[in-house]
């Protein structure tokens, strides 16, 4: 029997509906949550993602501002944009759209965002809190993937979870979140020997690699839960890091691409922004 789909589109709509209620309440009290996105250069994929973030803000009633800097912007221009957003009381969430042009120091720019305005949940302070199991903003993509697993009722405690990919925005925080749920976690990467031996041992398999249809059916255990974070464009169409059609025949649950983790990433960005705004208004 083919795997059950974990539908990111439907789940993200549910998350947005709940967030809308919270935004409406804030607005009725005279408070408008605000998100500032800093976009450098002309990368078409980044423009598409930023457009989707702007639309989500509009749907929810969140004030949205996009600061567009040219591809040859200096480090100082980027940092000034971060400081301006930090200093602006109308803004509760700040994010720098990645990837940045190679001449810019992204880590430095991200570290300048105030941790309490870190909408992407990838600031050093928030990453450290996640590592220690303390409350803080959580990286949107893994947060969304975990939401999907929980919504599907998948038990994680004691399960073998394998995360392929060790980036700071997806792989590592995903592994930490799974660990917090008492899964036994293995992180694989490009230097892993015999990757398939690891992935075949996974009850929960998360692919965050950036290589189209890289995880094939022979790499997946019967009945595994497969979360496909990958977002690759092939012949003008999006596909994930998992060979969806073949893996679907083996897995018990699977997330589709598109309509999976990507939708949840935006919903979690909205969630982090609303949460940051609620905390800011309580502090006032």
Least CB distance to ligand NDP at residue 148 (A): 11
- Known catalytic membership, residue 75: no
Q: Which of residues 5-64 bind ligand NDP (CB under 6 A)?
A: none
Q: Which of residues 123-152 bind ligand NDP (CB under 6 A)?
A: 141
Cis amide leading into 258 (omega within 30) = yes
Query: Does residue 121 bind ligand NDP (CB under 6 A)?
Result: no
- Site of tokens 């795997």: 3
DSSP 199-217: HTT-SEEEE-S-STT-B-G
Phi and psi for 280 in degrees, rounded to 5? -65, -40
- Known catalytic membership, residue 194: no
| Candidates 120, 228, 241, 243; catalytic one | 120
Query: Does residue 174 bind ligand NDP (CB under 6 A)?
Result: no
Phi and psi for 230 in degrees, rounded to 5? -55, 145
Least CB distance to ligand NDP at residue 76 (A): 26
Tell me the Cα Rg of the chain: 19
- Known catalytic membership, residue 88: no
Query: Does residue 163 bind ligand NDP (CB under 6 A)?
Result: no
Closest CA to 180 of 208, 151, 150: 150
Decide whether 46 or 232 has the Cβ nearer to ligand NDP: 232
Least CB distance to ligand NDP at residue 168 (A): 8
Distance CA 194, CA 254 (A): 23
Number of residues that bind ligand NDP (CB under 6 A): 26
3-state secondary structure 59-76: HHCCEEEEEEECCCCCHH
Closest CA to 110 of 139, 130, 89: 139
* Burial (0-12, 13-18, 19+ Cβ within 10 Å), 114: middle
Q: Which of residues 243-282 bind ligand NDP (CB under 6 A)?
A: 261-262, 265
Stretch that binds ligand NDP, among 67-75, 79-87, 191-199, 243-251 (CB under 6 A): 191-199
Binder of ligand NDP out of 191, 193, 237, 283 (CB under 6 A)? 191
Shortest-Cβ-distance residue relative to ligand NDP:
167
Decide whether 34 or 240 has the Cβ nearer to ligand NDP: 240
Stretch that binds ligand NDP, among 116-124, 163-171, 242-250, 275-283 (CB under 6 A): 163-171
| Candidates 97, 116, 241, 263; catalytic one | 97
Instruction: Give the three-class secondary structure for 233.
Output: strand
Distance CA 96, CA 36 (A): 9
Residues that bind ligand NDP (CB under 6 A): 141, 164-167, 169-171, 188-192, 195, 208-211, 229-232, 241, 261-262, 265
Provide the annotated active-site residues. 53, 97, 120
């Amino acid at each position: 029997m083919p795997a059950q789909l974990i539908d990111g589109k439907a789940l993200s709509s549910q998350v947005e509906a709940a967030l809308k209620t919270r935004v409406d309440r804030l607005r009725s009290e005279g408070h408008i949550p605000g998100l500032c996105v800093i976009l450098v250069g002309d990368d078409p994929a980044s423009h598409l993602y930023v457009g989707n973030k702007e639309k989500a803000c509009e749907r929810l009633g969140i004030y949205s501002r996009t600061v567009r800097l040219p591809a040859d912007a200096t480090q100082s221009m980027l940092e000034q944009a971060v400081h301006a957003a930090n200093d602006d009381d109308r803004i509760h969430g700040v994010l720098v759209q990645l990837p940045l042009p190679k001449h810019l120091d992204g880590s430095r720019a991200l570290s300048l965002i105030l941790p309490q305005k870190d909408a992407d949940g990838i600031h050093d302070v928030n990453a450290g809190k996640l590592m220690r199991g303390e409350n803080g903003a959580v990286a949107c993509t893994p947060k969304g993937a975990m939401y999907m697993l929980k919504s599907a009722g998948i038990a994680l405690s004691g399960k073998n979870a394998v995360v392929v990919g060790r980036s700071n925005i997806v792989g590592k925080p995903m592994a930490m979140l799974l660990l917090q749920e008492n899964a036994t976690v293995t992180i694989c990467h490009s230097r892993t020997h015999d990757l398939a031996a690891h992935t075949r041992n996974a009850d929960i398999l998360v692919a965050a690699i950036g290589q189209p249809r890289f995880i094939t059916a022979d790499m997946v255990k019967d009945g595994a839960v497969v979360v496909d974070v990958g977002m690759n464009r092939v012949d003008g169409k999006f596909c994930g890091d998992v060979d969806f059609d073949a893996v679907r025949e083996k897995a018990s649950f699977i997330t589709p691409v598109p309509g999976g983790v990507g939708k949840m990433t935006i919903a979690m960005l909205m969630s982090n922004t609303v949460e940051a705004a609620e905390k800011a208004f309580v502090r006032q």
